[in-house]
Structure 1
Amino acid sequence: MTAATDTALTAGTWAIDPVHSTIGFSIRHLMVSKVRGTFDDFSGTITVSDDGTASVAAEIAVASVNTRNEQRDTHLRAADFFDTEKFPVATFTSTGVRTEGNRYALDGEFTLKGRTQPITLDLEFIGTNPGMGHGEVAGFEASVVLNRKDFGIDFEAPLETGGTVVGDKVTITLEIEALKQA
């Protein structure tokens, strides 16, 4: 068995493989637990120039939200939350990558529900592998905590005992496998 190698990405374009990748999120629910979900329809590319400079562009079909509860997912697609009829796609475009110890900070512009904000993802490069006959693959894990209100998701449902049904902070986690394009 060949382990992942910890070498730099080679120059070229790497396509995010949605079959072997996950975009997940979690948010506080009823002040005591968390609801977790995924976005099941997304795409993106990582482009590495000859000098090693990397850039990332990605799109998420927001209507593909999946919390394993159809009633909740329908509400999330509505105007109270994502308003997917008016804003069907969220996008991320990187503006830079910085080294922070043995990890990276991936800076970029994230657009959700028509609002663009600068964000920084905490990024770990897992490594590369020759793949299984379809070409070289690379692996990454990343996370960021966003405030939903920064993106116009202002739904409020106060609880009788204080607090709200839904928290403001959303943790986004990405597990990405990308395939080197020929």
Structure 2
Amino acid sequence: MSATTITTTNLETGTWTIDPTHSAVAFSVRHLMVSKVRGNFDTFSGAITVDENGVPSVTAEIDVASINTGNEGRDGHIRSADFFEVEKYPTATFTSTAVKADGDDYLVDGDFNLHGVTRPITLKLEFNGVNPGMGNGPVAGFEASVVINRKDFGISIDMPLETGGSVVGDKITITLEIEAGKSA
């Protein structure tokens, strides 16, 4: 961890496991230069671990084959070698390297691996607090987002339009809505 890594007293020491039932990993991408296609990844896991000094770290894994845009044909194409190549690269992963304060919010630096390529990214994170939960221990809430360029991760299909531009944009916005429960 770098010298700028923050500590937090809002999360108890230990592991906070992402609850996929109450969380979402979503994305949006420009389509035909005028609208956005939105979708989710239905299968993912991860944890926030707070060490004895109050320093948090984050790990996450996404099953990229679980992509769901609400259109089976499009989802099949995205799973293919044109995009994710899920048979060769079944998961995307994130491992944090630093957490820094950014006003009332945070910046979470880390290594993101997608399509066999690892690049540093920075998630903009809002910490929504801790709730005592409903009898199963405390839960914490987070919202985070990042914009990546798909070509930086080797997803370089070009589908040009006759009038200029392309069918699928290069910039992908990833949005996380996370609820994590304190592990016993």
Tell me if both proteins adopt one fold, taking TM over 0.5 as the criterion.
yes
TM-score of the two chains, using structure 2 as the length reference: 0.95
Question: How far off its partner does 1:134 sit?
Answer: 1.0
Query: What letter matches 2:141 in structure 1?
Result: G
Equivalences for residues 106-121 of structure 1 within 5 A: 106-121=108-123
For residues 16-61 of structure 1, give each alpha carbon's deviation from its aligned partner in whole angstroms, at most 9, with x where no partner exists: 0000000000000000000000000000011001111000011000
Deviation at 1:12, TM superposition (A): 0.5
The AA in structure 1 aligned to 2:25 is: I
1:134-173 alignment, distance < 5 Å: 134-173=136-175
CA distance in 1, matches of 2:47, 2:16: 6
Distance in 2 of aligned mates of 1:122 and 1:94: 12
- Letter paired with 1:71: G
Q: Aligned to 1:23, which of 25, 44, 49?
A: 25
The DSSP-based 3-state class of the residue aligned with 1:131 is coil
5+ residue gaps, structure 2? 1-8
Matched AA of 2:62: I
Identity within the alignment, %: 68
Q: Which ranges of structure 1 fall in alignment gaps of 5 or more residues?
A: 1-6
Give yes or no for the alignment of 1:96 onto 2:102. Answer: no
Q: CA separation in 2, counterparts of 1:150 and 1:67?
A: 22
TM-score of the two chains, using structure 1 as the length reference: 0.96
Whole-angstrom CA distance in 1 between matches of 2:95 and 2:72 = 30
- Regions of 4+ moved over 3 Å: none
Q: Which residue number in structure 1 is paired with residue 5 of structure 2?
A: none
Equivalent position to 1:69, from 60, 68, 71 = 71
Distance, in Å, in 2 between the alignment partners of 1:157 and 1:89 is 25
Distance in 2 of aligned mates of 1:75 and 1:11? 43
**Alignment coverage as a number of residue pairs:** 177
- Which amino acid in structure 1 is aligned with residue 134 of structure 2? M
Task: Report the Cα distance in structure 1 between the residues aligned to 2:60 and 2:147, rounded to whole angstroms.
Answer: 18
Aligned mates of 2:157, 2:35 — CA distance in 1: 18
